[in-house]
Amino acid sequence: MRIMTHMKTHMRRRDVRFWEMTGKLSFWSRWRRQKKKEEEEQGEGTIAREEEARGQERSVQEKQSSMDAAKQVVDERERQIRKDVYMAMRSSVRADEVVHKILKSMPSQTERTVCFMVIEGCCEESIYKRIYGMVAERLCKSNTKFQVFFAEAFRTRYEHAEDLVEKQIEYTCKIYSHLLRTDSLPWHRCLSVLDIIESDMSQRLMIQWLLQGMVEALGMRAVQERLEKDKELRSSTVKLFPVDANEEGLERAVNLFEAMGLGELGAGVRAQLEKVRRSRRMTLNTNSAPNYNDRFSGGDANHQKGQKRSRKNMMEYI
């Protein structure tokens, strides 16, 4: 009897341990299955993200490749245009012949490249050749598009004048003084860029040589009359002739025109400077003059006595 009871107790304990172990195993089994499932889901998400990233990278590379190919085509076309312009300049004697060859060989929508090439080709010469100015003149008169791009080229070279050597500035000014004096390019498109006050040394040199070239070709009086009578031109050159500037700016502009040897062109600025100075002196004299009404008006005797001046000091008002 005792043996049977012991066996039953032992069996129950064994069953309890069995179920405990089974429960633990089932818990760890469920945890491992859940963990594996999560890892698989994360792996699938990672793979999807990697595939998406690779797809985006491929699209960027394809886009970059297409852009590089297009750029290469443009570069090749521009190189060919530059070559054609160079060969036309070298193989021709007259400007009409050069322009005829350029217009005949150039593709459409390449006027800008032609304009820049004419200027750059001129600046590469050891001495200035008038044929470049004459070619630029005929191009501008053949199509208004050339006027737009020659004006753009002038603005670009003026804004980056500090990057140009002295010879390049000189030759550029010779071309544009030719274009302006022949009315191949509207004056306001070039002169509106110039700023006599806010300019560096290279830009002032560009202003000097351009205006000197125009004065040498047309004469000082003709240039002055054109600048004064043309309303559009006068409104476009407010930076070149800053008559609305303060006294310091006016004085600086006058001094710069004098230093350039173009004092007559700055006559309007000088007149405005003198007007401002007279106005300032009159204001100072008005503020410093004694008030004689207080001396002869009725009032406090002590106040009148305080206002009385010595005879010596009265001499300055005689």
Q: Among 1-15, 102-116, 150-164, 272-286, which is the least confidently predicted range?
A: 1-15
pLDDT exceeds cutoff 50 at 36: yes
Spatial CA neighbour of 262 closest among 201, 199, 198, 214: 214
- CB contact set of 65 (below 8 Å; sequence gap of 6+): none
Asked whether the predicted pLDDT for residue 69 surpasses 50, the reply is no
CATH topology of domain 76-223: 1.25.40
Average pLDDT over residues 30-52: 68
Instruction: Classify burial at 241, counting beta carbons within 10 Å of its beta carbon; exposed 0-12, middle 13-18, buried 19 or more.
Output: buried
The residue-averaged pLDDT of 65-88 equals: 69
pLDDT tier, 20 (very low <50, low <70, confident <90, very high otherwise): low
The answer to whether 277 and 285 have CB atoms below 8 angstroms apart is no
The whole model's pTM is what? 0.68
Mean pLDDT over the full length of the chain: 80
Q: Determine the Cα–Cα distance for residues 244 and 188; give it in Å rounded to an integer.
A: 19
Q: What share of the chain is helix, strand, coil (3-state, %, to 5)?
A: 80, 0, 20
User: Given this model, what pLDDT does residue 283 score?
Assistant: 82
- b/e sequence 74-105, b meaning 16+ C-beta within 10 Å: eeeeeeebbebbeebbeebeebeebbebbeee
Q: Is 3 or 171 the better-scoring residue by pLDDT?
A: 171
Give the percent of the chain with pLDDT over 70: 70
Residue 29's pLDDT band (cuts 50, 70, 90): low
pLDDT tens string 180-226: 999 999 999 999 999 999 999 999 999 999 999 999 999 999 999 99
